[in-house]
Amino acid sequence: MTTVTTAHKNAVGTAHTRVEGRDKVTGAARYAGEVPFADLAHGWLVLSTVARGRIREIDTAPVLGLPGVLAVLDHRNAPRVETDYAGLMGSKPDPTCAVFQHDRVPHLGWPVALVVAETSEQAREAAEALVVHYEQEPHDVDFTGEHPDAYALDGHMPAVAEKGDLDAELAASAVVLDAEYTTPEEHHNPMEPHAATARWEDGRLEVVDSNQGATWVVGELASLFSLDPASVRVRSEHVGGGFGSKGVRAHQVAAVMAATVLQRPVRVVLTRRQMFSLAGYRSPTVQRVRLGADAEGRLRALEHRSVSLTSTVHEFVEPSAGVARVMYDADAHHTANRVVRLDVPTPTWMRAPGEAPGSFALEAALDELAEKCGIDPIELRLRNEPDKGPVSGLPFAGRDLPACFREGARRFGWADRDPRPGLRRDGRWLLGTGTAAASFHAGAMPSTATVTAHPDGTFTVRIAAADIGTGARTALTLIAADALRVPPERVRVRIGDSDFGPAMIAGGSMGTRSWAWAVTAAADELRDRLALGTGVPAEGITVRSDTTAAIGALAPAERHSFGAQFAEVAVDVTTGEVRVRRMLGIFAAGRIVNPLTARGQFEGGMVWGISMALHEEAIRDRATGGHVGADLAGYHVATHADVPDIEADWIEDADPRDPVGIKGIGEIGIVGAAAAIANAVWHATGVRHRSLPIRPDRVILAGGPSA
């Protein structure tokens, strides 16, 4: 007879090493490109070498005669797919993933063919030998921001939000700031490349993939190929990073096409260079911020306008102005997100979409306003704390930003800061400190989960969650253990399989919260059944939950995680080098399930903020329409040497409306981090940098106190 332990010490809130950690470090954990299949063939994508035009001819005959080559798929012979549907995100799919459907080329790096061979090496050799002839057309990849053809575009929020008379409030303001900020094109570059293997077995399509949501991929593949979703299974057990890029891409669709044609398993893996054109990216932005305040620094007017780019084949907006709708109120509050269509690949979600670049502009502008007003930057922000959603008017479901600033200021030593810029030195280095606020939406989406009790006293949780390196598998183990009132060692969590039922993707900082809701509901019901029963039969007892009704019943509110970022930098104005000496982030992000992996999430986001502020910048060649240095040699990211002292911590902030108290932590770590660094550079040098990254040449050209 199995009984549930009644005296139980909570697992949630205690540091716990990853339950799959040993498998990962020993190589037992297999990623999508490593899972073995019998009779496996390999596909290699061929990408366009022109930025705009039409395919005139593809010379496949010589390639088909090469050793090991099995097939070449292109627009003349590939299976047809359906694109007139709305997917999980509520919009039609990006045609980039609907490969080989026509002869048009809308950007450099567009998939024009797939070469399939017995080995990966043979497929690559043949793909590189394939000759494609084009009718080339003029292209435009030049993003300047304020473009006459820019237009407002709704994304996951309305494009425009307005209240009050902006011009009147600006005119009546004692202090006015009007500044433009720019951020460059940035790329996800997860450690594990995108990879998928497709095969048909007994009339059912199976795809082993690296993705951020098996439910998402099933839905898209079923719609594209006009299949019953029940006849598609997607497995994604281990994922080496995603950051928003691992949705449905060209390689999965190409693999399914090839497997359908050849009736054998086919694997397609993207190269690092291919990822720069096929995996999405963060659009560059040009943002204008106008602030008007009274003599005490209280905002009368706030305008935040952002322009980003999108492709000519699919609309995507980087909603950078949206962050202002949450952070600060004003009598006149105007925000707008617009896009320009160019001959480039389609951007996509990238860690903290909108908030990451938007917080740079807004929080840098707040720092400039504080200087103009002669008010401490933290005090200025506290004076403009709203008591409800500035645009929505909804109540906040917890807003502990002031507590984050107070705790962060105490630990960072903010009170000892001389506000005057350009005064502190350490040899050849000018020193400065800066701060910025952070926020990110805390949502939940319906999910399903099953929990099974076994006769030996153990439990198995099944949910189609995705652990993209966040530690979600471990967090769900702790959550299930507490819900079942047993030690974590008695719980096994299985994830990443669409056969486990629909579940939210790992995205929008909503994954763990959404999954925890479903796991807790199933575990609670199972525990009640066990308490009423006499034992567990040999086949076990399984309970399934669906949280659609519970989540739908949540009262409307502004639900966000918040945080305060602090940075100290050293600037050598002779060489232009900027070094981050230390960073501190204090967050109010709900109940922290696993402090060990949570700290890694916060710090990882902050490191990415360093990378964003000082290093990352993808440059497009106007002549070719492609990137200059589409690899990790030409695209610079922060390394260990760039991060000497970084600390993340949190305050108590459990959400009472959530069964576990979770809000979400995956993305807030990057929000505001770049602004804190930019503000620190100003404090060090007395010079404002409104364009990222703050490169050495920009520091030198901007000048500052003499060395």
pLDDT (tens digit, 9 = 90+) per residue, 187-233? 999 999 999 999 999 999 999 999 999 999 999 999 999 999 999 99
pLDDT reported for residue 488: 97
Estimate the crossing angle of helix 355-373 against helix 673-685, to 10 degrees: 30
pLDDT reported for residue 148: 85
SS3 content of the chain, % helix, strand, coil (to 5): 30, 25, 45
Q: Are 377 and 313 spatial neighbours (Cβ–Cβ below 8 Å)?
A: no
HSE-CB of 217 using CA atoms within 13 angstroms: 37
Q: Alpha helix (H) ranges present in 536-616?
A: 548-552, 595-614
The whole-number average pLDDT for the span 279-303 is 98
The whole-number average pLDDT for the span 513-536 is 93
Strands 266-269 and 41-47, sheet pairing: parallel
CA distance 513 to 470: 13
CA distance 379 to 383: 6
Instruction: Give the pLDDT confidence of 647-701 residue by residue, as tens digits.
Output: 999 999 999 889 999 999 999 999 999 999 999 999 999 999 999 999 999 999 9
Structural tokens at position 630: 């589409």
Q: Are 106 and 98 spatial neighbours (Cβ–Cβ below 8 Å)?
A: no
Cα radius of gyration rounded to whole Å, the chain: 26
Strands 175-183 and 429-441, sheet pairing: unpaired
Domains of the chain and CATH, by start:
21-30+445-552 (3.30.365.10)
Closest of 498, 537, 544 to residue 518, by C-alpha: 544
The model's confidence at residue 706, banded by pLDDT at 50, 70 and 90, is low
pLDDT reported for residue 131: 98
Q: Are 48 and 278 spatial neighbours (Cβ–Cβ below 8 Å)?
A: no
For the beta carbon of residue 37, count every other beta carbon within 10 angstroms: 15
The single-letter code of the amino acid at 9 is: K
Instruction: Give the pLDDT confidence of 352-378 residue by residue, as tens digits.
Output: 999 999 999 999 999 999 999 999 999
Statement: residue 2 has pLDDT above 50: no
CB burial of residue 454 (10 Å; 0-12, 13-18, 19+) = middle
Q: How far is CA 496 from CA 216, 260, 493, 601, in A?
A: 11, 23, 10, 20
Q: What is the DSSP letter of 143?
A: -
Closest of 61, 47, 54 to residue 128, by C-alpha: 47
Verify cis geometry, omega within 30 degrees of 0, for the bond prior to 111: no
pLDDT reported for residue 7: 57
pLDDT reported for residue 157: 94
Q: How far is CA 460 from CA 21, 473, 524, in A?
A: 19, 12, 14
Q: What is the DSSP letter of 94?
A: P
Closest of 405, 424, 395, 340 to residue 366, by C-alpha: 405
Closest of 451, 479, 492 to residue 11, by C-alpha: 479
CA distance 316 to 285: 13
Instruction: Give the pLDDT confidence of 567-596 residue by residue, as tens digits.
Output: 999 999 999 999 999 999 999 999 999 999
- The residues assigned a catalytic role are 667
Statement: residue 428 has pLDDT above 90: yes
CB burial of residue 104 (10 Å; 0-12, 13-18, 19+) = middle
* Percent of the chain at pLDDT exceeding 90: 94
The torsion angles phi and psi of 676, rounded to 5 degrees, stand at: -60, -40
CA distance 114 to 47: 9
**Mapping DSSP to helix (H, G, I), strand (E, B) and coil, where does residue 206 land?**
strand
Statement: residue 534 has pLDDT above 90: no
User: Which one has a higher pLDDT value, 148 or 511?
Assistant: 511
CB burial of residue 643 (10 Å; 0-12, 13-18, 19+) = middle
CA distance 545 to 250: 33
Statement: residue 3 has pLDDT above 90: no
Place of tokens 């497929």: 123
Instruction: Give the pLDDT confidence of 134-181 residue by residue, as tens digits.
Output: 999 999 999 988 788 999 999 989 999 999 999 999 999 999 999 999
Residues comprising the chain, all counted: 707
Instruction: Give the pLDDT confidence of 604-660 residue by residue, as tens digits.
Output: 999 999 999 999 999 999 999 999 989 999 999 999 999 989 999 999 999 988 999
For the beta carbon of residue 233, count every other beta carbon within 10 angstroms: 17
**Beta bridge partner(s), residue 135:** 54
The torsion angles phi and psi of 594, rounded to 5 degrees, stand at: -130, 100
Q: Nearest-5° angle of CA 412, CA 416, CA 421?
A: 100
Instruction: Give the pLDDT confidence of 63-115 residue by residue, as tens digits.
Output: 999 999 999 999 999 999 999 999 887 788 999 999 999 999 999 999 999 99
Structural tokens at position 181: 């900020």
For the beta carbon of residue 27, count every other beta carbon within 10 angstroms: 8
Q: What is the DSSP letter of 509?
A: T
Q: How far is CA 258 from CA 115, 197, 276, 644, in A?
A: 9, 10, 23, 48
Chain-centre distance for alpha carbon 305: 22
CA distance 371 to 170: 18
